[in-house]
Amino acid sequence: MPGVSIPIIDQLVHPSFGLITRNLIAGSFSGSGTLTPPQNPLVALTYGLSWSFFTVPVHYGLIVGNPSGYNPPLLQLGVDYNDLAGHTFTHQVTWLPYDGSYYFWEEPLPLALRYHLLPGVVATFYWLQT
């Protein structure tokens, strides 16, 4: 049975923005949690996360601009990796104030994606995939 060959560069670097698809992750999210990015070269490679804020309590400030954002930022993301010795660490921890943005991981193939939404905020999440 012949193997399927996927170019290594496709797994290491995200493609052009125009080739990315937002694929809905079932359910809605609040509080804190961890998601495991799916990596299946036969179906889709995953390069990051996008989101839509579904519920935002009125007491969080909307900063009108182009684009508009929230103060304080409503969403924190970070990605987990293992080093050569097997130590798990969280990298690229970022607070995100804008609705509908894209978060691409800087290093390929993370173990997990960590999220934290401020109290009362509910969001839907989407994998960024090819």
CATH of the domain at 111: 2.60.120
Say how far apart CA 81 and CA 7 lie, in whole Å.
22
In a domain, 8, yes or no: no
In a domain, 12, yes or no: no
**What does the pLDDT read at residue 73?**
97
In a domain, 53, yes or no: yes
Say how far apart CA 2 and CA 37 lie, in whole Å.
27
Domain containing 31 equals: 19-129
Q: Which of 53, 2, 114, 42 is nearest to 105 (CA)?
A: 114
In a domain, 2, yes or no: no
53-76 as b/e, with b when 16 or more CB fall inside 10 Å? Answer: beebeeebeeeeeeeebbeeebbe
**What does the pLDDT read at residue 4?**
47
Bridge-partner residues for 129, per DSSP? Answer: 21, 46
pLDDT tens, the chain, 130 aa long: 445 455 555 556 667 788 899 999 999 999 999 999 998 777 788 999 999 999 999 999 999 999 999 999 999 999 999 999 999 999 999 999 999 999 999 988 899 999 999 999 999 999 999 8
Total domain count, the chain: 1
In a domain, 4, yes or no: no
User: Does the model's pTM come out above 0.85?
Assistant: yes
In a domain, 122, yes or no: yes
In a domain, 76, yes or no: yes
In a domain, 33, yes or no: yes
